[in-house]
């Protein structure tokens, strides 16, 4: 009887650890920091829009960090069939690029499709 209780306890602890880790990973910020400039580029590097307003950039970063996510490992070919663009966040010391799908407006990273539904189109 004692062995069964220990086994059940170990299983509950392992399940709890896995669930807490999954929750923690899903809540992690994709972008952090303050950026001065956001360049939205379409396919072939054409510039769709440049945003210099820190408030607007903060809203976009907040939308990326807080929108629902779907786990999708991007092996480099996952989104090749879709028209895509690049969001380039810049400040004095750093430049961060995140892809987005033009038809849906969802941001994409290596592991996540973030359902931001940005209205940026060509």
Q: Are residue 24 and residue 46 in the same domain, yes or no?
A: no
Angle at 57 between CA 52 and CA 62, to 5 degrees: 175
Q: Are residues 46 and 66 in the same domain?
A: yes
Domain span at 83: 31-121
Q: Domain total for the chain?
A: 2
- Same domain for 105 and 73: yes
Q: Which residues contact 57 (CB under 8 A, 6 or more apart)?
A: 35, 36, 37, 38, 51, 89
Residue 16, SS3? helix
Residues 68/72/78/84 CA torsion (nearest 10 deg): 20
Cβ 8 vs Cβ 14: under 8 Å = no
Reading the chain (122 residues) residue by residue, the pLDDT tens digits are 788 899 999 999 999 999 988 788 777 888 888 899 999 888 777 888 899 998 999 998 988 888 888 877 666 556 655 667 889 999 989 999 988 887 788 888 877 888 888 776 54
Which CATH number does the domain housing residue 39 bear? 2.60.40
Same domain, 26 and 83: no
């Amino acid at each position: 009887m004692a062995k069964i209780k220990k086994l059940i306890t170990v299983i509950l602890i392992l399940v709890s650890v896995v669930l807490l880790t999954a929750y923690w990973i899903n809540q992690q910020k994709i972008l952090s920091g303050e950026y001065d400039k956001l360049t939205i580029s379409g396919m072939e590097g054409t510039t769709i829009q440049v945003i210099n307003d820190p408030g607007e950039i903060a809203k976009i970063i907040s939308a990326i960090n807080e929108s629902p996510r779907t786990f999708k490992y991007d092996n480099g070919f996952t989104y090749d069939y879709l028209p895509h663009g690049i969001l380039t966040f810049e400040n004095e010391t750093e430049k961060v690029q995140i892809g987005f799908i033009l038809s849906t407006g969802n941001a994409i990273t290596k592991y996540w499709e973030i359902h931001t539904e940005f209205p940026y189109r060509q």
